[in-house]
Amino acid sequence: MSLFELKDVSYQYAAATRPALDRITLNVEEGALFAVLGPNGSGKSTLLRVMLGELETSAGSVTYAGRSSASWGRREIATQIAFVPQAEPMAFPMTVRALVEMGRYPHTGILGRMGADDRIAVDGAMERAGIADLGSRSIRNLSGGERQRVRIARALAQEPRILVLDEPTAALDLHFEMETFELMRELTEERSFTVVVATHNLNLAARYASRLALLARGHIEAIGAPEDVITADKIGRVYRWPVLVTSLEEQGSGVESPQVVPLSGGAASALS
């Protein structure tokens, strides 16, 4: 079943000369780990913001679970879809647990109090994101990787069906980056979550995602399984850099996935 359906969606920022999104049509199936790829400025973030109802489309329709995105109430949709932003301004000190508890807002409402269910959800989310022992720490004293896990925990505390992440690993080291991708896979495979992630890491997207969309200047250049999207021709053209695509066989499972190797120096100029 399709959770998200986008039909001919366009979006243009007020002062822009060309649309940020140009007649995008795509579906996100339930249970998918859907990766959105593309160079800087190709429209990845705009696509996420349109899907999430943050931006109103200039043309076309966005439906979530069969209903027009615009018809969902804010709190109602927040129990369905959770968003993990890249970073958050932290103007005031706050404990980790207080921040994760904010994920319960759509369930408890303006005047609501945290009940037993809510506490269990918060505990579970913190456990799952690997920050169970950070609860009383101030968010300001955490590393970038830890803060990211706090934002993921808050999103999980919303108990959504879909998790949307905007470049969640852009500022993280290899350890946190792998942990984040492992977590996304586990959520889709073992917990029937649907995950939509915008990322610059082509190789991890190729290994972990079930479906990829490659954006270029606001339109979809390619969409489908990793081996259909990650080709030397398409990646080289969209990112304007010559690449080789090799195949990586995962140890244990034997599953193969395409891996991008950008060329350097003489090889690059010879090919381009």
Partner 1 sequence: MTRHAFLLVGLLAALVATVVSGLVIGAVSIPVADVLSALGGSADAQTRTIVVGLRLPRVLLAAEVGAGLAVAGAVFQALLRNPLAEPYVLGVSSGAAVGAVTAIVLGMTATSMLTLPIAAFIGAIVAITLVLGMAAAAGRGLDTHVLLLAGVVIGAFFNAVILLLVNFADLETFRAAMLWIMGSFNGATQESVTTVAVWVLPALLGLGLLARPLNLLSVGEQSAFHLGVDVRQLKLLLYIGTSLVVGVCVAGSGAIGFVGLVVPHALRLVGGSDHRWLIPACALTGAAFLVFADTIARTVVAPAELPVGVVTALAGVPVFLWLLIRHEEGM
Calpha distance 168→199 (Å, rounded): 7
Which of 168, 157, 166, 160 minimizes the C-alpha distance to 193? 160
Q: Which of 1, 18, 40, 74 touches partner 1 by CB under 8 A? A: 74
CB of 177 to partner 1, least distance (A): 22
Q: Which residues of 12-45 are buried (b: 16+ CB within 10 A; e: fewer)?
A: beeeeeebbbbebebbbeebbbbbbbbbeebbbb
Beta carbon of residue 228, minimum distance to partner 1 (angstroms, whole number)? 31
Q: At what angle do helices 144-157 and 174-190 cross, to 10 degrees?
A: 10
Q: Going residue by residue from 144 to 183, which x/- string records binding to partner 1, judged by CB under 8 A?
A: ----------x---x-------------------------
Cα–Cα separations (whole angstroms), residue 24 to 60, 65, 111, 245: 8, 18, 40, 26
φ/ψ bin of 191: left (φ > 0), alpha (ψ from -120 to 50), beta (otherwise): alpha
Among 59, 78, 232, 263, which residue sits at the site for partner 1 (rule: CB under 8 A)?
Answer: 78
Quote the distance between the C-alpha of residue 145 and its chain's center: 16
- To partner 1, the closest distance from the beta carbon of 6 in angstroms equals 18
* 206 DSSP assignment: H
Site for partner 1 in 122-141 (CB under 8 A): 140
The answer to the question of residue 252 lying near partner 1 (CB under 8 A) is: no
Who's near 81: CB < 8 A, 6+ residues apart? 52, 64, 160, 161, 162, 163, 164
Among 2, 58, 79, 203, binds partner 1 (CB under 8 A): 79
Which member of 83, 176, 193, 239 binds partner 1 (CB under 8 A)? Answer: 83
Q: Is 75 in the site for partner 1 (CB under 8 A)?
A: yes
Tokens of 250: 């995962």
6-35 residues in contact with partner 1 (CB under 8 A) are none
> Which range in 18-26, 61-69, 85-93, 194-202 contacts partner 1 by CB under 8 A?
85-93
String of contacts with partner 1 for each residue 86-115, x by CB under 8 A: --xxxxxxxx--xx--xx-xx---xxx---
Positions in the binding site for partner 1 (CB under 8 A): 52, 54, 74-79, 81-83, 85, 88-95, 98-99, 102-103, 105-106, 110-112, 140, 154, 158
